[in-house]
Chains A and B, each alone.
Chain A
Amino acid sequence: MPAKVKDEQTVSDSQQEFLTFVLGEENYALDIMTVKEIRGYESVTKIAKAPPYIKGVLNLRGDIVPIIDLRIKFEVGKATYDEFTIVIMLMIGDRVVGIVVDEVSDVIKVDADDIRPAPEFGVAFDSAYLHGLTTINEQMIILVNIEKLISSDELGLYDNSQTVEQG
């Protein structure tokens, strides 16, 4: 199993670590360096006139942090909230944002050579927000360029498209 992750192996230059998560029935992954923490979903304070995928804000140890539900934004799966619903807190630039996902599964190491370009269709996300695709255990994983996605005008999370480091 060549694609199997070897935990002991240190990450070399061509390798990057990703956190895989599930939206609906698809497997996604995002750069683990952007992850601040992972926590259960808790009720948020709604914000008036925000689009439906912006669930609201919550208190993360004194910081007021917005929570967005990518399932609603990209119409994948059902936006249900139960005790298994997970929020991944991301650190994008110097801003914190939480994304709601169905499940967090694994940390994988992906070699740059193993990333194939994403197709133009068939994926819920615009290919502009993707690093590409990779296969682990014969399972397709979509590598999301989460920094680009979160700071995109499409999500409209920030005023006048803040300059956030691109991954």
Chain B
Amino acid sequence: MSVDMSQFFGVFFEESQEHLDTMEHLLMEMSLDDPDPEDLNSIFRAAHSIKGGSGVFGFDALTGLTHVMENILDLARKEKLIITRPIVDQLLITIDRLKIILDCYQSEEAIDWDAIQKEIVALEALLGPKGGANSDDEVIDEGFGLFDTVVSGDDDDFGFFDALDEPPAREEKSYGFYETDEGESKSQTSEPEELDELAYALSDDDFGFFDDEPDASPIIENTTDKKTNQETLVSTQPDAKTTVQPSSPAANKNVASAHAKTVPDKSDSAAKKPKIDAKESSSIRVDTMKIDSLVNLVGELVITQSMIKIVGRDVHGEVEEKLEGAIGELSRNIREIQEAVMSMRMLPMSFAFNRFPRVVRDLAGKLEKEVDLVIEGGATEIDKGMIEKLVDPLTHLIRNSVDHGIEMPNIRAAKGKPRNGTVVLNAEQRGSSIIISITDDGAGLNREKILAKAMQNGLPVNHDTPDAQVWPLIFEAGFSTAEAVTDVSGRGVGMDVVRRNIESIGGAIDIQSAHEKGSVFRIRLPLTLAIVDGMCVSVTDQTFIIPLTNIIESIQPSKAQIKTIGNEQLLWVRGEYWPLLALHELMDIEGANTDPSTAIVVLVETARKRFGLLIDALEGQQQVVIKSLEQHYKRVPGVAGATIMGDGGVALILDIESIAAVVTIPNQTELTHAG
């Protein structure tokens, strides 16, 4: 091929990654007793697509391995091979190997051919006895396989280019190949049923192609490329035919199917909106950079809107009313645009969750434990950037739950628990937060061990320290209560990295644990990283933003509500003492109102603590765009970021979570007795 193929590598890598994930996911879900033929087909198709693509691009390592894999899967879906656990295991290992190879190709590193050869041998070993018993099968299969490499490569190539070629396919119908398609597609439009029948009549393979189609999402490319792409397409097509001709009869059967494959595929694009799969052409791959710049622009729009609002204050009379109406309309529209733009960045949590069944399975196998992973709320949507940063902490927490939380089956049985431990991974949206929890029904955290370790590390704890303050100790650096360092966990570096990672995306983590009942790790994350609803508050002439999610209420306390214990001020609200922090002290501002009874107290809460924040005045509620301080400066304690106000000035957004860290919770009962 004369065309520079490297421009399509990116798409191939991305798609192959998706195919591998699909395969892994389906293999994990497959029930061994009664495998769903459709699942087997999907797995087969995924392997097939990778093989085809890699063949076209000359990634021989991928082609070789997927080819053997495909043989096994093909036998399985034809019910000539019973899928057993060892087979699934081996296939999963192969998928891992394929991922490594893919990475190697992507980063242009050397391929470990020996390892691949070993995988191939291991895979063929699965086929071995079968092939010996039924040599006929073997021959046909080989024929299929060999031939398929060529045709499928071509046909997948076709699939690849399809998206790119779509417009020319409709515009320039002079190429022989398209003509056929056109004819076919016309027949489809007139008699859709016929096509359906055709599709069914052919092997599952081609029908599968439809299912596959959404994966090959249309790609927007330079129009200049289209012509060359098409030429590639046309030049390869005859190749396929000629290669195919001298094949065995068995292969010839496949020629037909291979050709037919392209028919529905092509008619898809020609008929534009096929009835078979409405999802086709409903998605489009866009560079995240473009979405990010859109998010930024919407941010600027929010700022501009608040500017207009400020200018609007100087307008009076009849115009004022009109202006107010228009601004109201504008802000509604902006909010909708913002939601739409943000939703583009949103991905379902399942993108992160889907890898965990595998993690749990492998780990449980290694530890000889029996663990079921239950995933709930995989459809909950979350910012893409956050998903990427969540994978590592979640993996660690889940491994932790399986390794430390869930007991060995016989111990569980002795305790009267079911032998199978359960880990529940849940995601849900609450207001503008996402809560992800990892719940296990294991032994729970060992309070004594943690305390002993904490004392050994010189942390300020004693035997009366409440649970709520004991559990977070496991997030301290160098803290591991595991008796032995395994290759799974126990080095004591993990948990503190987990917390740091979660805090770096504006989240918080807390733990609940009950002895012999299990533990819950709960991660609370903001829905988005870009825009926050906030309350503007002022201290002297400075404005600060408190995220609305943290605010419970704002009050002006009476003198009687203020108690002073030592240097600490406490606020008595509805039968509870709240620690009181002065924002002007936190932020080093002079000349602020220090008397809580004439100032305002904002009651705020975090996942763990509640306290009052003393400020001078409330200025109003507003959406603010979070700008990074770190981009040109550094992280400031107690500050989550900055924002630009309507007047062009900068206001700091308070990080209530980190401010809460300095708050000491008063002992309620003691105070009540004292008071």
A residues neighboring B (CB under 8 Å): 43-50, 56-59, 62-66, 95-97, 157-159
On whether A65 and B632 interact (CB within 8 A), knowing A45-B642, A48-B587, A59-B649, the answer reads yes
Q: How far is the CA of A155 from the CA of B209 in the complex (A)?
A: 62
Identify whether the interface residues of B are mostly helix, strand, loop, or mixed. loop
Q: Is the Cβ of B627 less than 8 Å from the Cβ of A64?
A: yes
Q: Is the Cβ of A64 less than 8 Å from the Cβ of B636?
A: no
Q: Which of A46, A49, A57, A59 contacts B633 (CB 8 A)?
A: A57
Residues of B within 8 A of A57 (CB): 629, 633, 642, 650
B residues neighboring A (CB under 8 Å): 296, 300, 542, 586-589, 627-639, 642, 644, 648-652
Q: Is the Cβ of A47 less than 8 Å from the Cβ of B589?
A: no
Q: Is the Cβ of B652 less than 8 Å from the Cβ of A59?
A: no
Scoring B628, B638, B642, B651 by chain A CB atoms within 10 A of each residue's CB, the highest score goes to B642
Q: Which of A46, A58, A95, A97 contacts B589 (CB 8 A)?
A: A46
Q: Is the Cβ of A49 less than 8 Å from the Cβ of B637?
A: yes
B583: min CB distance to chain A, Å? 10
Q: How far is the CA of A58 from the CA of B589 in the complex (A)?
A: 18
Q: Is the Cβ of B633 less than 8 Å from the Cβ of A62?
A: no
A152: min CB distance to chain B, Å? 14
Nearest residue (CB) in A for B635 is A159
Q: Is the Cβ of A64 less than 8 Å from the Cβ of B589?
A: no
Q: How far is the CA of A43 from the CA of B650 in the complex (A)?
A: 10
Q: Is the Cβ of B632 less than 8 Å from the Cβ of A58?
A: no
Q: Is the Cβ of A48 less than 8 Å from the Cβ of B636?
A: yes
Q: Is the Cβ of B632 less than 8 Å from the Cβ of A62?
A: no
A-B CB contact pairs (8 Å), 29 listed: A43-B649, A44-B650, A45-B542, A45-B649, A46-B587, A47-B633, A47-B636, A47-B639, A47-B652, A48-B586, A48-B588, A48-B589, A48-B638, A49-B588, A49-B637, A57-B633, A63-B631, A64-B627, A64-B628, A64-B629, A64-B631, A64-B632, A64-B633, A64-B642, A64-B650, A66-B633, A157-B633, A157-B634, A158-B633
Q: Is the Cβ of A62 less than 8 Å from the Cβ of B644?
A: yes
Q: A57-B642, A65-B632, A157-B634 known; 5 other A-B pairs, CB under 8 Å?
A: A48-B639, A58-B649, A58-B650, A63-B627, A64-B628
Nearest residue (CB) in B for A98 is B632
Residues of A within 8 A of B586 (CB): 48
Q: Which of B300, B588, B651 contacts A45 (CB 8 A)?
A: B651
Q: Is the Cβ of A95 less than 8 Å from the Cβ of B635?
A: no
A48: min CB distance to chain B, Å? 4
Scoring B629, B633, B636 by chain A CB atoms within 10 A of each residue's CB, the highest score goes to B633
Q: How far is the CA of A154 from the CA of B648 in the complex (A)?
A: 31
Nearest residue (CB) in A for B584 is A48
Q: How far is the CA of A96 from the CA of B632 in the complex (A)?
A: 6
Q: How far is the CA of A45 from the CA of B545 in the complex (A)?
A: 13
On whether A59 and B644 interact (CB within 8 A), knowing A45-B651, A64-B632, A97-B632, the answer reads yes
Q: Is the Cβ of A45 less than 8 Å from the Cβ of B644?
A: no
Q: How far is the CA of A50 from the CA of B586 in the complex (A)?
A: 12
Residues of A within 8 A of B638 (CB): 48
Q: Is the Cβ of A45 less than 8 Å from the Cβ of B652?
A: yes
Residues of B within 8 A of A97 (CB): 632
Q: Which 6 A-B pairs have the closest CB atoms?
A: A48-B587, A45-B650, A66-B633, A159-B634, A64-B642, A59-B644
Residues of B within 8 A of A48 (CB): 586-589, 636-639
Nearest residue (CB) in B for A63 is B632
Q: How far is the CA of A49 from the CA of B634 in the complex (A)?
A: 13
B145: min CB distance to chain A, Å? 52
A37: min CB distance to chain B, Å? 14
B582: min CB distance to chain A, Å? 12
Nearest residue (CB) in B for A92 is B632
Residues of A within 8 A of B652 (CB): 45, 47
